[in-house]
């Protein structure tokens, strides 16, 4: 196992910049999720680490060794493809053993290592089956088996659960994480599904338009989104933005939205007059008649344990996650109370979060 270090990685396809000067480190044994919408450059980044694409500029280090220009087969990595890429003309056993054949491992050892891997993944009963008849989950396990069997420096996975149905996905998410806990393989996992990323990853890199918007633990990404894009991409429903115009000074502890003063974590940055947004997660909103921040109920979605209530405010819809037993009439006026300690402030022009005491915690953590 090894550390992956990416320095100023850039990839252009003609005039299109797929990945723009990305840098990050995946520590030995860490599970990184590259998260973003399709076309954000996450798969291209993964393919460059694998050696399937050459970067336009920048460097890639695997276990301290510069592998930027090495061929894929010289990098000692394993790749799990979205469609698994199981060789249809080979059975399960041959598929899993295929990388070992390339390394010139003896037949007896291939046999024992394939069987050991199959036991780990609980697929030893299907070793002699053809891969074409396998169910989605088993295909997934065979693909993983082919990756694990050679004990590579790291695992790269490109949306491996993308084609499975929802029920199976949950199961595989759990299995993947358990597997990771057992073998501690450095893993880079590409996905567009925030739930997968949140559930499995030690670190998440949120990508958009070829840029890494934020790199951090799932908690940091969720609680202290660095940009409005991240705040909007993570969470379902995403973070609400209450837009207002104002300037900010260091030490301020309150902002005025629609003429209502709202307490916020202490601001650590001066901002000239401009458009700002107050970010609040749906679960950090409570309904309270005492609050001066008011709006009309627009509709609600029942989710069983709770409900998402949309409230029409002066500057758009705000969604709140509230207990399921509260009843609201459409059009009813309600007061909104925000959990002051968990609010974020964003500069709308740059989209970046404003430094505050809440965000400062991140640097210590």
**Positions in 77-96 near other proteins (CB under 8 A):** 77-79, 81-83, 85, 87-89
Give least dist CB 365 to other proteins, A. 36
**Binding range to other proteins, per CB under 8 A, among 24-32, 76-84, 277-285, 334-342:** 76-84
Crossing angle of helices 166-183/136-148, nearest 10°?
20
Unique residue bearing structure tokens 């970067």: 55
* 4 vs 77 by CB, closer to other proteins: 77
Nearer to other proteins, 73 or 119 (CB): 73
Binding segment for other proteins among 24-32, 99-107, 259-267, 303-311 (CB under 8 A)?
99-107
Among residues 150, 153, 281, 358, the one that binds other proteins under rule CB under 8 A: 150
Query: Where does residue 338 rank: exposed (0-12), middle (13-18), buried (19+ CB within 10 A)?
Result: buried
Provide the minimum distance between the beta carbon of 226 and other proteins in the complex, in angstroms, as a whole number. 33
Nearer to other proteins, 99 or 282 (CB): 99
Minimum distance of other proteins from residue 237's CB (angstroms): 35
Taking CB under 8 A as the criterion, the residue among 99, 145, 160, 216 binding other proteins is 99
Query: Under the criterion CB under 8 A, does residue 50 sit at the interface with other proteins?
Result: yes
Sheet containing 203-208: order of strands = 77-80, 154-158, 186-191, 31-35, 203-208, 211-216
- Residue 189 engages other proteins in binding (rule: CB under 8 A): no
Binding flags for other proteins, 51-70, as an x/- string (CB under 8 A): xx------------------
Answer for the pair 204, 33: CB distance below 8 angstroms, yes or no: yes
Which is it for strands 154-158 and 77-80: parallel, antiparallel or unpaired? Answer: parallel
Provide, rounded to whole angstroms, the least separation between the CB of residue 42 and other proteins. Answer: 17
Sheet holding 16-26, edge to edge: 16-26, 4-13, 57-62, 65-66
Phi, psi of 269 (to 5 degrees): -155, 140
Which of 48-56, 219-227, 249-257, 345-353 is the region at the interface with other proteins (rule: CB under 8 A)?
48-56
CB of 142 to other proteins, least distance (A): 12
Q: How many CB atoms lie under 10 A from the CB of residue 193?
A: 15
Tokens 């499995």 -> residue: 200
DSSP H or E run through 345: strand 344-347
Instruction: Decide: 206 and 235 in contact? Cβ < 8 Å.
Output: no
Q: Could you tell me the smallest distance in angstroms from the CB atom of residue 89 to other proteins?
A: 4
Closest CA to 236 of 281, 274, 184, 202: 281
Closest approach, Cβ 83 to other proteins, in A, equals 6
Torsion region of 100: left, alpha or beta (phi above 0 gives left; psi -120 to 50 gives alpha): alpha
Residues engaged in binding other proteins (CB under 8 A) = 50-52, 71-73, 75, 77-79, 81-83, 85, 87-89, 98-99, 102-103, 146, 150
């Amino acid at each position: 196992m090894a550390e992956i270090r990416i320095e100023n990685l850039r990839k252009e396809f003609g005039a299109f910049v797929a990945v723009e000067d990305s840098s990050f480190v995946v520590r030995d044994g860490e599970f990184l999720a590259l998260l973003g919408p399709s076309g954000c450059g996450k798969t291209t980044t993964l393919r460059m680490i694998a050696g399937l694409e050459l970067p336009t500029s920048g460097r890639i280090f695997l276990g301290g060794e510069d592998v930027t220009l090495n061929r894929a087969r010289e990098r000692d990595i394993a790749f799990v493809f979205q469609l698994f890429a199981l060789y249809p003309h080979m059975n399960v056993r041959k598929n899993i053993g295929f990388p070992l054949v390339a390394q010139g491992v003896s037949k007896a050892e291939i046999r024992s290592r394939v069987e050991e891997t199959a036991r780990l993944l609980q697929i030893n009963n299907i070793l002699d089956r053809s891969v074409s008849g396998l169910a989605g989950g088993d295909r997934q396990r065979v693909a993983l088996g082919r990756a694990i069997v050679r004990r590579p420096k790291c695992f790269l996975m490109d949306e491996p659960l993308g084609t499975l149905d929802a029920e199976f996905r949950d199961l595989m998410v759990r299995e993947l994480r358990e597997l990771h806990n057992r073998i501690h393989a450095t893993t880079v996992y590409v996905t567009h599904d925030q739930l997968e990323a949140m559930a499995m990853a030690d670190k998440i890199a949120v990508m958009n338009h070829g840029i890494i918007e934020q790199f951090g633990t799932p908690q940091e990404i969720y609680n202290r989104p660095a940009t409005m894009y991240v705040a909007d991409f993570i969470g379902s429903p995403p973070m609400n933005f209450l837009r207002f115009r104002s300037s900010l000074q260091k030490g301020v502890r309150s902002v005025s939205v629609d003429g209502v003063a709202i307490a916020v974590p202490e601001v650590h940055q001066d901002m000239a007059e401009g458009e700002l947004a107050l970010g609040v997660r749906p679960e950090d909103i409570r309904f309270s008649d005492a609050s001066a921040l008011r709006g009309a109920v627009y509709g609600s979605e029942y989710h069983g344990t709770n409900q998402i209530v949309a409230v029409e405010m002066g500057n758009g819809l705000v969604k709140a996650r509230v207990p399921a037993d509260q009843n609201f009439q459409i059009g009813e006026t309600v007061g909104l109370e925000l959990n002051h300690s968990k609010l974020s402030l964003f500069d709308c022009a740059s989209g970046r979060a404003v430094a505050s005491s809440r965000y400062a915690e991140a640097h210590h953590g």
